Structure 1
């Protein structure tokens, strides 16, 4: 009898679904909760330590790489084509409960990315805690060493389609970043930010 992939996990809950064409280089580093789904074409390359909370899902063709750590709380969803790079040892991507990432999002956790609960990340958002050092003139930028700084995103944040969050930014509770915005500075709670670079354009107001 062929050994099931989930039988090689460090921990595996009940009701776990692994669809065809899933490939994991180091399944012994996976700890998976109840009713987790790994969609068709999910791939994990490298020695990432992975914790996936119950009722979380990766939809088809998501890709994970690196040698850091991925921590997903319960009911987290990554929709098709998600890209997660946890970076080297010490890298981290941590996602809180009931947060979801729409199709084609990219998260670079080499400098550390922590995202809270109940966050909505729209299609093709980029969250990057690393970048090539633009100050270096002695080598092409593609060969320059990386710089990094952590990104912290609080609970109840909405990142609009095609938005970008760069290294070193903290997003406060309840904020919205509009579509195509590029956030380069910290925010204040319950603000609506838009533009390149993004600035506060309005406040979220309680319903009357």
Structure 2
């Protein structure tokens, strides 16, 4: 434990100690909520035991929205979570830095579409729930948009944009993200998915 602490600078140790004290006071059951953090409508934010966040995270909840996080989730620096309906994150998830997950969009762009003449910020909020399964790993700069389910055990590669649901136990990359490998439990290997 001491060797791990010595890997940090004195200022990092001081900041983490301060964050640790505030975590124990204001986030019961969490492991470490690093400062600064911004939470809009904290009443809609529910997390399990062992939560760990990086610095500069933003959690924004609008109206009756809810963000649910399971146990032992680790969220990297500059992660931004948005909900006006439901964002559900399973147990043991790992999010790298600069992740954006949102069930919300300003306006509708299918049937009953918003007009491009309307100011973007005045368009009504439209939402579609997001569900992220247990043991999902989102790489650096991943974006997850409304209406998406990511199956348990999946990995989403850095810089990917998830616009459609992904199956369990796959590796997905790209914009839009698509599965390129799936785990074979018989051979215990990741196998390429034929195009």
Normalising by structure 2, report the TM-score: 0.77
Greater helix content: 2
In the alignment, is residue 17 of structure 1 matched against residue 21 of structure 2? yes
Matched-pair contact (CA < 8 Å) for 2:50–2:73: yes
Q: Extract unaligned runs of 5+ from structure 1.
A: 1-15, 19-34, 39-51
Q: Kindly report structure 1 stretches of 4+ aligned residues shifted beyond 6 Å.
A: none
Distance 2:95 2:120 in 1: 29
Deviation string 1:159-196 (CA, Å, 9 cap, x unpaired) is 11000000111111111111110001111110111101
Residue 75 of structure 2 is aligned to residue 85 of structure 1: no
The answer as to whether partners of 1:100 and 1:121 remain within 8 angstroms in 2 is yes
2: CA distance between counterparts of 1:106 and 1:97? 19
Partner of 2:183: 204
Which stretch shows the higher mean deviation, 128-137 or 64-73? 64-73
**1:97 matched residue in structure 2:** 71
Query: For 1:32-111, what aligned pairs fall within 5 Å after superposition?
Result: 36=24, 52-66=27-41, 68-88=43-63, 90-111=64-85
Whether 1:136 aligns to 2:114 is yes
> Secondary structure of the residue that 1:36 maps to in structure 2?
helix
Match of 1:113 among 83, 87, 99: 87
- What are the Cα deviations for residues 71-103 of structure 1, in whole angstroms up to 9, with x where unaligned? 111001111000000211x21011111111000
Change (3 A) 1:74 1:67: closer
The two structures have a TM-score, normalised by structure 1, of: 0.73
Structure 2: distance between partners of 1:132 and 1:102: 26
Q: Does 1:160 align with 2:139?
A: yes
